[in-house]
Amino acid sequence: MTTPTSREDALTRTLADEYAAIYGYGLIASALVGPPRRRAQGAIDTHRVRRDQLRGLIGSLGRVPPNPAPAYDPPYPIDLPRRAAALAAAIESGLSGSYSQLAAQSVGPDRRAAALAAQEAAVRAAAWSLSTQAFPGTTTAIAGTSPPAG
Amino acid sequence: MTEGSDRPVVSRRVALAGTALGSLAVLTACTDGSPSSPTPAASGLPGTGVPTDDDGVRAARVATELALVRDYDRAIAAQAPGRTPSDREQLRAFRAHHLAHAIALDPNVDPSLTATAAPTGSPAPRPAPTRAALRTLEAQAAASAVDLCVASSSPELSQLLSQIGSSEAAHAALLAISATRST
């Protein structure tokens, strides 16, 4: 995947990741029970707030923010708590990387906000996987994930 | 089971799979060409002032990362025998992350760290940090990474610093989890 070269591009990509996160956490929550399920449900709210912020930022550039896809396919069946947690970690790690790319395409307070959002996503990823990476978002946390088909 | 379906959502499946950003490739060798001697900016304590040029930002951050490597070295060496192997592995992994951060910022950093002895005139070795102390150091490092990220001129450097700060924020969170579990 190429690196975004404009703030609009970075905002749009991050919004797409937030849409996927909201959808994905619905699958994740349904595969979990108890406190992990509540954590996943709480994450949906968190990502909805981020989604709305990103839509507003794209709108402030005079652009119409894209809408989410009707549905998103997970990379594997989310039928076990372990798989649900792995997908949550991968979603958050990818989002952390997207926010770091957004930071690179932003300046001043916008950059600070993006860098802090990257940290929050990395912390959520760590809470799901109990591990982290030297460069969150650089590599996917899921083995066997296919690259974009086009 | 539904793979290969002609539903349009199939083309979006990658969106849930996480993206491989490959941002390490953006790193460039824009160092000052003096591999064995830290620049003066590197002697500044993190958080006491944000450098205004990218070379200064890199040098300051390399110093912070190498100090964290040494902190982890002392913590690993002093670890109580009762600690579980996973605790030790975690500290080793985090140490490796900080060394990777330093090398990403400055390719001249010695991966074996044998050439990075404490500079002359540095204070006496500090005692080994506890896990709680490491957590505080990581949180401080994550916060200062944001300041440096904002101060960077080059997008590549700001992205790298955002990722470094994200790694360190995650370290702090994980150290808190393990501290809750094991103490």
pLDDT for the residue numbered A100: 98
Q: What contacts B156, CB < 8 A, 6 or more positions away? A: A104, B23, B26, B27, B28
pTM: 0.80
Neighbours of B115 (CB within 10 A): 11
CB within 8 Å: B19 and A1: yes
Measured N-to-C along each axis, helices A81-104 and A34-60 cross at an angle, to the nearest 10 degrees, of 20
Sequence ranges of the domains in chain B = 25-182
B72 residue type, one letter: Y
pLDDT of B58-106, one tens digit each?
Answer: 999 999 999 999 999 999 998 866 667 788 899 999 999 999 999 999 9
pLDDT for the residue numbered B33: 33
The ipTM assigned to this model is 0.91
Contact call for residues A1 and B20 (beta carbons, < 8 A)? yes
Chain B partners of A145 at a C-beta cutoff of 8 Å? 14, 17-18, 20
| CA-based nearest residue in chain A for residue B157 | A104
Residue for token pair 């005692």: B127
CB within 8 Å: B167 and A3: no
Contact call for residues B12 and A73 (beta carbons, < 8 A)? yes
CATH number listed for the domain at residues A7-129 = 1.20.1260.10
Residue of A98, A100, A129 to mutate, testing the B interface (most B Cβ within 10 Å of its Cβ): A100
Q: Quote the CA–CA distance of A58 and A47 in Å, as a whole number.
A: 16
Closest CA to A104 of B60, B166, B67, B168: B166
**Average pLDDT of the segment spanning A83-99:** 97
CATH number listed for the domain at residues B25-182 = 1.20.1260
Of B13, B164, B173, Cβ closest to residue A126: B173
Q: Is the dihedral of CA B145, A107, A57, A87 positive or negative?
A: negative
Q: Give yes or no for residue A148 having a pLDDT over 90.
A: no
Residue for token pair 């929550």: A29
Q: Give yes or no for residue B16 having a pLDDT over 70.
A: no
Contact call for residues A78 and A27 (beta carbons, < 8 A)? yes
pLDDT for the residue numbered B147: 97
DSSP conformation class of A20: H
Quickly state the pLDDT bin for B116 (edges 50, 70, 90).
very low
